[in-house]
């Protein structure tokens, strides 16, 4: 019994699925019989828009990873270095980095202060790249933890049913009842002062681990619920029955038979989870319950920029644009994966 017959079945009747762009595409007929993954891969490769945005995301990640390079080689400063009383040469003139009226220099479009300076005379471009590292790190790690917990809870609840399901599902219902942003704020502010003590693990209040933990927890029900539903339906299928008849234990069935079959759902959800985690980080940081300044993130940068929007609007525009591009790239790429795997599936994750 093929463990992925569920996917094969759905991929099979997807060819020429209603409303899908590739409807009646002669190429599709040629690939019938390929493995579902290869089929999906081929469909994704043909989706130019999704690929373009996937590449854009990789470029953004690459740029943020190269932050130290830009700081050392081009901008000749660090992420936290103040240049309040410094001057730079621009078009042959000497200009203050921060004017006497407290207004920082705008974009110079040259190595130093490429995107201008902030109110403390820090290089905006350098902070943008380092902030992006933090935002992306939080987004990806939080999404990974959410996926881990969501799968664990969803598979256990769906497979064992009964009491396990009752307890886990109720817990998910309760977590789900909180508006995402409020739960994030509540956890974020209460952990900000003293940090968190998890057994031997001690996390201080200004650590990035706090927003990561908070965001990861908040999104768990949005993944655990659909996974549970899938597993509930799947455990009645013949391939699970066959595995049980062969004498496989519950854990082996869950790991070897069930898990591979929810992997396509995870693949669809993951980019959307990262996108929403990045958005929630920004929202929490904007409200002061996320990343703690002076540590930069796109959220804290937007927050500081909005305070000075009248004199230096680029301080809010620049990090916001990077954030929108990143989230947009993830959303379009996620859509592409979904259409490639199952054009009819509808996925909806919550934005704060």
Partner 1 sequence: MSRFVARRLISMLFVMFAVSVITFLIFNVIPNSDPAVRMAGKQPTEVQIEAIRQEWGFDENIFVQYGTTMEKLFTGDMVSYFTQLDVVNEIWKGLPRTLSLAIGAAVIWMLFGVGLGLFTAMRAGKVSDRLLTVLALVGISMPVFWIGALMNHYLGFELSQALGFELFPNGGYVEFAESPLEWLHHLILPWTALSILFIGLYSRVLRGNILDTINEDYVRTARAKGLSERQVLLKHVLRNSMIPIVTLWGLDFAVVIGGGAILTETVFNLQGVGQYAADAIGQLDQPPILAVTMFGAFFVVFFNTIVDVVYAALDPRIRLESGDTA
Residue 123 DSSP label? B
Is residue 132 within 8 A of residue 322, CB to CB? The reply is yes
Q: Which two tokens stand for residue 276?
A: 């929403």
Q: Which CB sits closer to partner 1, 39 or 191?
A: 191
- Nearest distance from C-beta of residue 217 to partner 1, angstroms: 10
Region for residue 112 given its phi and psi (left: phi exceeds 0; alpha: psi -120 to 50; beta: otherwise): beta
- Nearest distance from C-beta of residue 263 to partner 1, angstroms: 23
- Nearest distance from C-beta of residue 212 to partner 1, angstroms: 16
Q: Which CB sits closer to partner 1, 71 or 221?
A: 221
Q: Which CB sits closer to partner 1, 190 or 246?
A: 190
3-state helix, strand, coil in the chain (%, to 5): 65, 5, 30
CA angle, residues 133, 270, 334, in degrees to nearest 5: 95
Instruction: Tell me phi and psi for residue 312, to 5 degrees.
Output: -140, 70
Q: Which CB sits closer to partner 1, 160 or 178?
A: 178
Q: Which CB sits closer to partner 1, 85 or 197?
A: 197
Q: What is the CA radius of gyration of the chain?
A: 24
- Nearest distance from C-beta of residue 336 to partner 1, angstroms: 11
Q: Which CB sits closer to partner 1, 252 or 344?
A: 344
Q: Which two tokens stand for residue 242?
A: 């066959």
Is residue 286 within 8 A of residue 302, CB to CB? The reply is yes
- Nearest distance from C-beta of residue 195 to partner 1, angstroms: 5
The residues that touch partner 1, with contacts defined as CB under 8 A, are: 18-19, 21, 170, 173-175, 177-183, 185-187, 189-197, 202, 275, 279, 282-283, 286-289, 302, 306, 309-310, 313, 316-317, 320, 323-324, 327-328, 331-332, 335, 344, 346, 348, 351-352
- Nearest distance from C-beta of residue 223 to partner 1, angstroms: 17
Q: Which of 332, 336, 325 is nearest to 135 (CA)?
A: 325
Q: Which CB sits closer to partner 1, 75 or 172?
A: 172
User: Cα separation of 127 and 94, whole Å?
Assistant: 23
- Nearest distance from C-beta of residue 48 to partner 1, angstroms: 12
Ranges of H-type helices in 95-179: 124-160, 162-177
């Amino acid at each position: 019994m093929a463990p992925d017959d569920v996917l094969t079945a759905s991929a099979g009747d997807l060819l020429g699925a209603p409303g899908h762009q590739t409807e009646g595409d002669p190429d599709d007929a040629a690939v019938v019989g390929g493995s579902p993954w290869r089929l999906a891969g081929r469909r994704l490769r043909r989706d130019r828009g999704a690929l373009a945005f996937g590449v854009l995301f990789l470029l953004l990640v690459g740029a943020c990873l190269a932050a130290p390079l830009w700081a050392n080689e081009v901008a000749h400063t660090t992420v936290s270095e103040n240049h309040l009383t410094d001057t730079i040469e621009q078009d042959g003139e000497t200009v203050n980095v921060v004017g006497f009226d407290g207004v920082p220099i705008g974009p110079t479009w040259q190595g130093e202060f490429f995107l201008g300076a902030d109110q403390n005379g820090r290089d905006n471009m350098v902070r943008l790249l380092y902030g992006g590292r933090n935002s992306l790190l939080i987004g990806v790690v939080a999404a990974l933890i959410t996926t881990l917990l969501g799968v664990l809870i969803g598979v256990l609840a769906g497979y064992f049913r009964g009491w396990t399901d009752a307890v886990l599902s109720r817990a998910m219902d309760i977590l789900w009842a909180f508006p995402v942003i409020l739960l994030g704020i509540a956890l974020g502010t209460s952990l900000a002062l003293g940090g968190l003590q998890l057994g031997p693990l001690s996390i201080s209040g200004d650590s990035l681990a706090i927003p990561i933990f908070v965001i990861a927890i908040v999104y768990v029900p949005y993944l655990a619920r659909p996974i549970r539903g899938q597993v509930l339906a799947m455990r009645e299928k013949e391939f699970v029955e066959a595995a049980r008849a062969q004498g496989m234990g519950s854990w082996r069935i869950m790991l070897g038979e069930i898990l591979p079959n929810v992997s396509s759902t995870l693949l669809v959800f993951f980019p959307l989870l990262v996108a929403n985690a990045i958005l929630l980080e920004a929202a929490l940081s904007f409200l002061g319950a996320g990343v703690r300044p002076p540590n930069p993130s796109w959220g804290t940068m937007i927050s500081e920029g909005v305070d000075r929007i009248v004199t230096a609007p680029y301080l809010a525009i620049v990090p916001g644009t990077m954030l929108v591009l990143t989230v947009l790239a993830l959303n379009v790429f996620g859509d592409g994966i979904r259409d490639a795997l199952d054009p009819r599936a509808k996925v909806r994750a919550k934005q704060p």
